[in-house]
Structure 1
Amino acid sequence: MAAARDLKAKETADADVDAVELAKRHLVQPWPFAGSVGTEARALIGEGEGIYITDASGKRLIDGPAGMWCINVGHRREELAKVMYDQAMALSYNTPWYTMNAPSAELAMRIAGHAPGDLSHVFFTTGGSSAVETALRFMQFYNNVRGRPEKKLILSRGDAYHGSTYLSASLNGRPRDRHWMDGADELVVKLSSPDPFRRPQGMSIEAFTDFLVDQFRDTVARIGADRIGAFVGEPVQASGGVVVPPDGYLKRIREICRDHGILYISDEVVTGFGRLGHVFASGEMFGIDPDMITFAKGVTSGYFPLGGVIISERILQELRRSNHPDALFGHGLTYTSHPIGCAVALKNLNILEESVLAHTREVAPYFQAQLKTLEELPLVGEVRGMGLMGCVECVADRESKDPLKLDKDVGKRIDAHCHELGLLVRPLINMCVMSPPLIISREQIDDMVAILREGISRTMDDLRKEGVWQG
């Protein structure tokens, strides 16, 4: 028995070495630097179970980012794997151009039942980027059919992240995403980030909210509502550093959009399917009823690539009543409404509805409170979050809130220490983002926060020794 285990361990180790070498020779990683593109191997993950993953060395780690905001019901859910197998054996694929499948129709109905307002129809895509791209192309189609070909500009915000396809990436508001990349800049108007932590010194939250709303209103007046087709916004800006907007801000923006015929697209690729304790956060958490909602990630808990756009019944009625009944929305994807993805999403939604959503709402306040204790550390400028998503932002000093005086890889330093201690972190320059699987327990939250505290403490010691930071 022992010999068999040793042989299996050796075979696994050999396979891991092979994977690393193969990656260096042949695999182009996402978001690579020019100096290492096509030669890079990243941390190899071998297995996952529950809230944990195992790296190539056999170390068990808490999956702090839940993959990429998506492993909502946890790793190794046998019922999801079985659904994939059963659906593949029944129908592995059908062309969506002139056929359909039953799982997609049922899933569209189930999703519409959770959506706010009159959002009642779903177009399925392959992920978040294609979902946002679809929503924007639908806005363009809608305005063309309604005889408003000039109404195409898109309002987006600083710190936003909406995808990696050409049009969706053009909305991104993080400078590093665009330094070396082209975009449809002629179609996008950028607004300020709604980050209260970065508001002007001495400005109250209420005044900051008024500033954001006034800026939005003034931008519409300056450009002209007849030229603006949509506003796209995440309820909580995820990859921008878990930026939670000030109370009432989104509702006021929604009203301006409604008053000026600007479509409000709520990007719930991250916040949807349980991350904030509800299937969708727009209505339940922020009191808004968008014209469209985009989703992906948690819809299948990352077990199968799937995304989509939920569209308002009002918009579809306006198209059906138009003078151009033959106008074609010339947009679709090979894997639109994929039967396996939709079947997995149906089972995933069952799991969420049965227990996981309620559990998330129960443990989220504890998660936020425990993370908040990290503000005791002098390197930490702010801990913020909502639901089961949180961000620890490190700063050189709390008065200036300046992250630039720190080593720019401070987040990676913290992640490296945490990895050694048993936690995978999502490092974002001077920030550490946490969004664990929604099934996490209070005891596991304690473990996560304790490791993160030690990882930050060790990083502070490193920075002091190197003379980078005095603390």
Structure 2
Amino acid sequence: MTQFSTSDLSNSPATETIEKYDRVHQLHPWAAMDAWRKNASMVMQQAKGIYLWDATGKRFIDGPGGMWCVQIGYGRAEMAEAIAAQVMKLPYNSPWTSTTEPSASLARSIAEKAPGDLNNVFFTTGGSTAVDTALRTVHFMNNQLGRPSKKIVIAREKGYHGSTYLAASMSGKDRLKSRFDVESRLVRFLPDVNPYHRPDGMSVADWCDEKVADLEKMILECGPENVGGFIAEPILCSGGVIIPPEGYHKRTWELCQKYDILYISDEVVTAFGRLGHWFASEDVFGIVPDMITCAKGLTSGYLPLGACIISDRVMERMTGPDQPVMFSNGYTYSAHPVSCIAALKNIEIFENEGILEHVRSISPHFQARLQALKKFSIVGDVRGMGLLGCIEGRPENSGTGLEAERRLGALLDKACEKRGLLVRPLINMAVFSPPLVITLAEIDAMFDILEDALAEVTKSLGE
């Protein structure tokens, strides 16, 4: 196991200065606006494999895998070498006027791995801009077809699709207070699809029927002539690793086919190995969508990059017989050659090390250890697939409502951190998606910490 010297990582003035700069000047994502200058963020210094070291030299298992993204683990020298070589060869290229070998080769590689006829790759800066591109494609296609009213996109409660204006408008994280505006004219939300929240006595099959019916009801209420797209994560990851009931994806895809609605599969988290496949849409859930969005694991987080993959059939419908029309969507850093070379090296590492096969082989053990956490009284539900997992807490004796749930989540987060495990707290939930290179022994170490932390929190709450 790799260890780092901590002789220069103590609580030195340098570290205190970094903390001060951070508090005073850096606004973090999802900052609490009543306390953002008060709370010190953990200063991370180094990483290797599945581990992170903070400025004091303390080691943590990276339970969230960065932000669902560090698939190949940290500290890959071959990745650094590939990035450095491309920086020296060609650090930037304008995608408006020319192409590069990394971007063209990566586009072909992605198209070969994507399902069906999804052969057209538009590179973006990350997941949010990939989703924006997919949504703008819905609008562009229907304008091109002379259907200017067919613009509404149906999304789901607890879904998350990004932070840009359009992508944020499609995100349905209903329990988060926000002072941001959204484009409500272009979106409608379906009710929660989480089987854990179905009424007492209702079967999962009946729940699935109801959720599929929710989609058709919404289409008919809006009018099929007004609905242009349906956007769905195969697993609602930021919503708490919510796995819709079996058969849901195929049946909602069939409804989209019936009403000529573009199906957007948001695979920003699930693509590139998280479920043991390049893409989950077809290999896991049996559908070939009209578009797939991806990012995160595309480069294993080493550099920012996203992609919107568009089917041939959609491209044909956007290519009209009339006067030339520009698909005027793009970013300064679209198809960035250094990011693209990082993605190509990432794919090479996947293939050389059999990472997809590794994920499929260790996932049953990961999920078995996850399911065993149900024995704790404060655990209401555990759910997961592949190397994705979520614990949903149930603070029965320590109060009810949002504040009690936040307290439980905070206690579990603190107990895990104390023991050297980072998880991602989401109100009363803890979610984790470790690097895909995690070993069986490291899975056991992670869940041993979770069990110990849950025991401590259970005792402290008197459950």
Q: Shorter-chain TM-score: what band?
A: over 0.9
Q: How does 1:358-377 map to 2 (within 5 A)?
A: 358-377=357-376
Q: How does 1:283-362 map to 2 (within 5 A)?
A: 283-320=282-319, 322-354=320-352, 355-362=354-361
Cα distance change on mapping 1:259 and 1:402 into 2, 3 Å? farther
- SS in structure 2 of the partner of residue 108 of structure 1: helix
Q: Structure 2, unaligned stretches of length 5 or more?
A: none
Quote the Cα distance in structure 2 between the aligned partners of 1:379 and 1:324: 62
Deviation of 1:8 after TM superposition, in Å, equals 4.7
- SS in structure 2 of the partner of residue 242 of structure 1: coil
Q: 1:244 is matched with which residue?
A: 243
Verify the 8 A CA contact 1:241 1:433 in the aligned structure 2: yes
Q: 1:430 is matched with which residue?
A: 428
Q: 1:394 is matched with which residue?
A: 393
Structure 1 stretch displaced more, 177-186 or 80-89: 177-186
Q: 1:115 is matched with which residue?
A: 114
CA-based RMSD: 1.8
Q: Structure 1, unaligned stretches of length 5 or more?
A: 465-470
Q: 2:66 is matched with which residue?
A: 67
Cα distance change on mapping 1:38 and 1:313 into 2, 3 Å? farther
| One-letter amino acid of the counterpart of residue 344, structure 1 | A
Deviation of 1:327 after TM superposition, in Å, equals 1.3
Verify the 8 A CA contact 2:72 2:437 in the aligned structure 1: yes
Quote the Cα distance in structure 1 between the aligned partners of 2:5 and 2:426: 38
Verify the 8 A CA contact 1:27 1:38 in the aligned structure 2: no
Q: 1:189 is matched with which residue?
A: 188
Verify the 8 A CA contact 1:161 1:174 in the aligned structure 2: yes
Q: 2:34 is matched with which residue?
A: 35
Quote the Cα distance in structure 1 between the aligned partners of 2:405 and 2:348: 45
Cα distance change on mapping 1:402 and 1:265 into 2, 3 Å? farther
Q: 1:415 is matched with which residue?
A: 413
Deviation of 1:402 after TM superposition, in Å, equals 6.7
- SS in structure 2 of the partner of residue 408 of structure 1: helix
After TM superposition, the score normalised by the length of structure 2 is 0.96
| One-letter amino acid of the counterpart of residue 346, structure 2 | N
Deviation of 1:43 after TM superposition, in Å, equals 1.3
Q: 2:53 is matched with which residue?
A: 54
1:258 to 2:257 alignment? yes
Quote the Cα distance in structure 1 between the aligned partners of 2:9 and 2:109: 47
- SS in structure 1 of the partner of residue 284 of structure 2: helix
Q: How does 1:437-448 map to 2 (within 5 A)?
A: 437-448=435-446
Quote the Cα distance in structure 2 between the aligned partners of 1:212 and 1:45: 42
Q: 2:198 is matched with which residue?
A: 199
CA offsets 1:257-282 (integer angstroms, 9 cap, x no match): 01111000000000000000001000
Quote the Cα distance in structure 1 between the aligned partners of 2:378 and 2:116: 43
Structure 1 stretch displaced more, 234-243 or 325-334: 325-334
| One-letter amino acid of the counterpart of residue 200, structure 1 | P
Verify the 8 A CA contact 2:153 2:228 in the aligned structure 1: yes
Quote the Cα distance in structure 1 between the aligned partners of 2:68 and 2:46: 18
Quote the Cα distance in structure 1 between the aligned partners of 2:55 and 2:459: 28
| One-letter amino acid of the counterpart of residue 246, structure 1 | P
Deviation of 1:319 after TM superposition, in Å, equals 2.2
Verify the 8 A CA contact 2:9 2:57 in the aligned structure 1: no
1:160 to 2:183 alignment? no
Structure 1 stretch displaced more, 36-45 or 55-64: 36-45
Cα distance change on mapping 1:180 and 1:259 into 2, 3 Å? same
Deviation of 1:12 after TM superposition, in Å, equals 7.6
Verify the 8 A CA contact 1:395 1:403 in the aligned structure 2: no
Deviation of 1:13 after TM superposition, in Å, equals 3.3
| One-letter amino acid of the counterpart of residue 297, structure 1 | K
Verify the 8 A CA contact 1:25 1:39 in the aligned structure 2: no
| One-letter amino acid of the counterpart of residue 457, structure 2 | T
CA offsets 1:237-256 (integer angstroms, 9 cap, x no match): 10000001111100000000
CA offsets 1:68-118 (integer angstroms, 9 cap, x no match): 000000000111111110000100001111121110110010001111111
Cα distance change on mapping 1:333 and 1:38 into 2, 3 Å? farther
Q: How does 1:137-176 map to 2 (within 5 A)?
A: 137-176=136-175
Deviation of 1:347 after TM superposition, in Å, equals 0.7
Structure 1 stretch displaced more, 269-278 or 389-398: 389-398
Aligned residues, how many? 458
Q: 2:129 is matched with which residue?
A: 130
1:449 to 2:438 alignment? no
Quote the Cα distance in structure 1 between the aligned partners of 2:253 and 2:5: 61
Quote the Cα distance in structure 2 between the aligned partners of 1:7 and 1:458: 29
Deviation of 1:456 after TM superposition, in Å, equals 1.4
Q: How does 1:4-23 map to 2 (within 5 A)?
A: 8-9=7-8, 13-23=12-22
CA offsets 1:96-147 (integer angstroms, 9 cap, x no match): 1112111011001000111111100100001101110111011111111111
Verify the 8 A CA contact 2:9 2:56 in the aligned structure 1: no
Quote the Cα distance in structure 2 between the aligned partners of 1:7 and 1:416: 23
Quote the Cα distance in structure 1 between the aligned partners of 2:5 and 2:208: 61
Structure 1 stretch displaced more, 137-146 or 322-331: 322-331
Deviation of 1:171 after TM superposition, in Å, equals 1.0
1:81 to 2:84 alignment? no
Identity of aligned residues (%): 45
| One-letter amino acid of the counterpart of residue 410, structure 1 | L
Quote the Cα distance in structure 2 between the aligned partners of 1:7 and 1:460: 34
Verify the 8 A CA contact 1:396 1:403 in the aligned structure 2: no
- SS in structure 2 of the partner of residue 119 of structure 1: coil
Q: 1:222 is matched with which residue?
A: 221
Deviation of 1:325 after TM superposition, in Å, equals 4.1
Structure 1 stretch displaced more, 408-417 or 93-102: 408-417
Q: 1:26 is matched with which residue?
A: 25
Quote the Cα distance in structure 2 between the aligned partners of 1:204 and 1:291: 31
Cα distance change on mapping 1:11 and 1:427 into 2, 3 Å? closer
Quote the Cα distance in structure 1 between the aligned partners of 2:296 and 2:393: 27
Cα distance change on mapping 1:21 and 1:318 into 2, 3 Å? same
Deviation of 1:32 after TM superposition, in Å, equals 1.2
CA offsets 1:268-313 (integer angstroms, 9 cap, x no match): 0000000000010000000000000000000000000000100000
Q: 2:281 is matched with which residue?
A: 282
Deviation of 1:410 after TM superposition, in Å, equals 1.7
Cα distance change on mapping 1:211 and 1:318 into 2, 3 Å? same
Verify the 8 A CA contact 1:394 1:403 in the aligned structure 2: no
Deviation of 1:46 after TM superposition, in Å, equals 1.0
Verify the 8 A CA contact 1:235 1:266 in the aligned structure 2: yes
Q: 1:382 is matched with which residue?
A: 381
